[in-house]
Structure 1
Amino acid sequence: MVEEIKYARVDSDASEDGEGGYQRPLRRRRQHRGWVSALGSFLVGLATMGAATALYSALTMPAQHSHARNLPHARNGTDPDTGLPLSWSHGDCGNSPEDARARGCLYSIVLHSWLPASCLTDDDAQDARDMYRGRQWPYETAAGRNLTMLELGAGDYGHFTTTFDWHVAHCMYVWKRLHRILLDPTQELDSYTANYHHTSHCVKMIGGHPEGMKDSGTKIFVKYPKCAK
């Protein structure tokens, strides 16, 4: 049976178009408005949930960098004359102070290595200041002469002999540099800092004696590693 529609007289101020006339009952219109309101609430809730999920992901996910870690190419084996890893010589800066300066390289007194300027940062310069501040370590050359800090920073020597205490501090700051670079793949990593031989050497030297660390003196060689671009 078709539902009978009844019309009622309404006042002019109650009409939607501002004119007097007749009006349908409001039941169906109210139902329509109810559906619109429910749909609007659902969409707002859905959008809020999506925004909350996106914010949670942004806060909890680790920062992503535009490129992955580049590792330096390291030659295997050791030098038969010095016993040092081959990856510590004939790198980006040649194999002498003259070669290094001609290529615009810098000398690090933390690593005691010649490296391209792009391989060192302001943090490395700060490490050098922190490592040597207030220290009075000896830096004895093969000729028996003690290097000044200015001469030490110039890198014009093959090696020097110092104390075990210096060597421990050196290991700590090399590990600090390694940790810093691993946290930021935009920084360049050199084949000396990345060399597992050096880490194993430091661990054995610092923790290899049951009675604790011993000051037995240390010979430090200047290195010419390769830096990953």
Structure 2
Amino acid sequence: MGFKYNRVNSDTEEQSLTLDSDNSSDSSAEYTQQHHLPSRKGFKISLSVAKDLILISFALLGFISLVQPKSSNHASMQPDGDAIGKHHQAAPAFTSCDCGNSTAEAVQLGCKYDSLAAAWLPEHCRDDELTAEFERSGPGPGGKWTYWADGNHTQEISIEEIAKMADDTDGRFHMTGHWHVIHCIFYWRKEQRARFNGKIVEPRSYSEAHSKHCGKIFLDPGRDTIAGVALNTDAE
């Protein structure tokens, strides 16, 4: 008697299915052996192969990550401004900001007077764009700062005249307490920008002592600030 899988709708049909001949049972067993078992075995083999492929893929990815050079993007980490640039620049080989013993020697060494530092600095110690911004951050027309030759703020003096004071160890000039506060803010920016623009901050200002000094200025800027002009900023 032939055997077919049919939907069981009643007890009678279920009973008739049970009373089928031994040939039907043999046929069912043979069907199961020939069709179901190979299918399960094939499924197990396919699953095993898939697992192996996944493991191999992860192993390859891990190997590639080890041998491939890692790139660093510091675009998320950089302050706004074109001066910093799109790429991290290596720190310069120079570590000294010394400009000699006179303004004439400073010029020969390629140094310039930096109004933010109140000192002569070589190119690798200057952030010229930041200094230019500082010179536009004062209270005067166009952001100009006013400098004086006296503590009473009656004799104005130009930046060019201030620059020449480096030849006179006793030379001094005066500015407001507000100038001093903004100077400190810009120096903190200079330190941050130096991480990316390849410049260095002169040792005189890149110190805990200068940070403490600026902290005191924030608490009490005062009316007047007095300063000299340095040629060698390697020492505090």
In 1, distance between residues paired with 2:216 and 2:133? Answer: 23
Unaligned runs of 5+ in 1: 1-25, 74-90, 208-212
Q: How does 1:80-119 map to 2 (within 5 A)?
A: 92-119=98-125
Aligned to 2:230: 223
In 1, distance between residues paired with 2:190 and 2:155? Answer: 30
In 2, distance between residues paired with 1:69 and 1:166? Answer: 30
In 2, distance between residues paired with 1:97 and 1:68? Answer: 27
In 2, distance between residues paired with 1:111 and 1:166? Answer: 12
The structure 2 residue matched to 1:187, chosen from 199, 202, 208, is: 199
Determine which structure has the larger helix proportion and give its number. 2
In 2, distance between residues paired with 1:40 and 1:187? Answer: 51
Aligned to 1:78: none
In 1, distance between residues paired with 2:103 and 2:155? Answer: 19
Residues 51 and 123 of structure 1, relative CA distance in 2, 3 Å threshold: farther
SS in 2 for 1:134: helix
Answering whether residue 156 of structure 2 is matched by residue 146 of structure 1, we say: yes
Q: How does 1:54-69 map to 2 (within 5 A)?
A: none
Answering whether residue 214 of structure 2 is matched by residue 202 of structure 1, we say: yes
Unaligned runs of 5+ in 2: 1-37, 78-87, 166-170
Please give the TM-score of this superposition, normalised by the length of structure 1. Answer: 0.56
- Does the 8 Å contact 1:112/1:223 carry over to 2? yes
Task: Give the drift of 1:195.
Answer: 3.2
Task: Give the drift of 1:124.
Answer: 2.8
Residues 69 and 196 of structure 1, relative CA distance in 2, 3 Å threshold: farther
- Does the 8 Å contact 2:135/2:143 carry over to 1? no
Superposed CA RMSD: 4.5
Highest RCO, 1 vs 2 (Cα 8 Å, sep ≥ 6)? 1
Residues 36 and 117 of structure 1, relative CA distance in 2, 3 Å threshold: same
Q: How does 1:9-88 map to 2 (within 5 A)?
A: 34=46, 35-47=48-60
Please give the TM-score of this superposition, normalised by the length of structure 2. Answer: 0.55
